Structure 1
Amino acid sequence: MVAMGIIARAPVMSNHLQPLPPPWPEDVSALLAAYPKANGEILSLFRTFANSARFLRKGVPNLLDRDSPLPLRIRELVILRVTALRGCDYEWGVHAAIFARAAGLDEAQLAATRAMPLDATAWDPVEANLLLTIGELCSTGRLAPATQAGFEAHWSCAQQLEICALAGAYQTVNFVANLAGLPAEAFSYPAP
Structure 2
Amino acid sequence: MTAEQNPPRSERLALRQPPYDDATRQAIENTAFTGLSPQNLRLSMAHHPELAGKFQALAHAVLFGAKVELRPKEIAIMRTTARSGAEYPWGMHVAIFGKRCDLDDAMADELAVAESDADLAHPNWTDEDRLVVRMADELHENSNVSDETWAKLTRIWDSPQVIELVFACGVYRLASYYTKTTGVPLEIGQAHFPKDYRRT
TM-score (norm 2): 0.80
Which sections of structure 1, spanning at least 5 residues, go unmatched?
Answer: 1-15
Choose the corresponding residue for 1:91, options 82, 89, 92.
89
Q: How does 1:1-192 map to 2 (within 5 A)?
A: 16-36=12-32, 43-59=39-55, 60-65=59-64, 67-120=65-118, 121-122=120-121, 123-192=125-194
Question: How many angstroms apart in 1 are the aligned matches of 2:179 and 2:30?
Answer: 20
Q: What is the identity, as a one-letter code, of the residue corresponding to 1:159?
A: Q
Counterpart residue number, 1:3: none
Q: Is 93-102 or 142-151 further displaced after alignment?
A: 142-151
In 2, are the aligned partners of 1:88 and 1:177 still within 8 Å (CA)? yes
- What number of residue pairs does the alignment pair up? 176
In 1, are the aligned partners of 2:73 and 2:168 still within 8 Å (CA)? yes
SS of residue matched to 1:102: helix
Aligned-pair identity in percent equals: 24
Once the two structures are superposed, residues 121-155 of structure 1 have per-residue CA deviations (whole angstroms, 9 ceiling, x without a partner) of: 54311111111001101210111222222112111
In 2, are the aligned partners of 1:112 and 1:118 still within 8 Å (CA)? no
Q: What is the identity, as a one-letter code, of the residue corresponding to 1:157?
A: S
Which sections of structure 2, spanning at least 5 residues, go unmatched?
Answer: 1-11, 195-200
CA positional deviation for 1:183: 2.8
Query: Would you identify which runs of 4 or more consecutive aligned residues in structure 1 move more than 6 Å?
Result: none
CA positional deviation for 1:35: 1.9
Q: Is 81-90 or 138-147 further displaced after alignment?
A: 138-147
Aligned-residue RMSD, C-alpha? 2.0
> More helix per residue: 1 or 2?
2
CA positional deviation for 1:32: 2.3
Question: How many angstroms apart in 1 are the aligned matches of 2:47 and 2:175?
Answer: 14
SS of residue matched to 2:115: coil
Question: Highest CA radius of gyration, 1 or 2?
Answer: 1
Q: What is the identity, as a one-letter code, of the residue corresponding to 2:51?
A: F
TM-score (norm 1): 0.83
> More strand per residue: 1 or 2?
1
